[in-house]
Each structure stands twice: as structure tokens, then as C-alpha cells.
Amino acid sequence: MWSTMSGNVNFLLIHAYNSRTEGVSLIEIDRSRCIYCGACVGVCPKLALILKETFVEYTQEKCINCGNCAKACPMKAITMRK
């Protein structure tokens, strides 16, 4: 897991290997849009996301790249990349 800054926007970029699809995807969380509501955490079937006080913690080993988190985010702060 690593993060970077892009212009004035903070992004959390997560590089995850998915053994089920044998592919690599990238989960991008736009911190300027994330309101830490926990909607993404609640829909993760593998509990790969945990809501902390000021960020969402991600465990890539648990992630199955289902995309539920991106679909559930009301602020569209999560993007799945392939």
C-alpha cells in the first residue's frame, strides 16, 4: 500500500494482486472526496476495508476486487483500475 499526492488532490493508491482473476488492479481513493462514511466498509464481503478515524485501512490480501466498495461510495471517491 502506498499513497501519493497529485496536484492539490490527495490519492491513496492501492496495488492489489487478485489470485482469483490472476490480474492486478488498482484501487484509487480520492481523499478529497472521501467523507469517511463507511459505506465501502459495509459492503466488502471479505472485510478488506476498515474505517479508522481519519482514513480507510485496506488489506490487499483479503481483497477479491469485486468492486462493491467503488459502487457503494456515495462520493465516488473510490475507483477500480485494471
Q: pLDDT for 18-59, tens place per residue? A: 455 455 556 877 889 999 999 999 999 999 999 998 888 888
Say if residues 50 and 8 touch (Cβ distance below 8 Å).
no
Q: pLDDT for 64-80, tens place per residue? A: 889 999 999 999 999 88
Which of 3.30.70.20, 3.40.50.720, 1.20.120.80, 3.40.50.300 is the CATH number of 2-81? 3.30.70.20
Written in H, E and C, the secondary structure of 38-72 is CHHHHHCCCCCEEECCCCEEECCCCCCCCCHHHHH
For residue 1, the model assigns a pLDDT of: 40
Structural domain boundaries of the chain?
Answer: 2-81
Please state the pTM of the whole predicted model: 0.69
- The rounded distance, in Å, linking the Cα atoms of 21 and 16 is 11
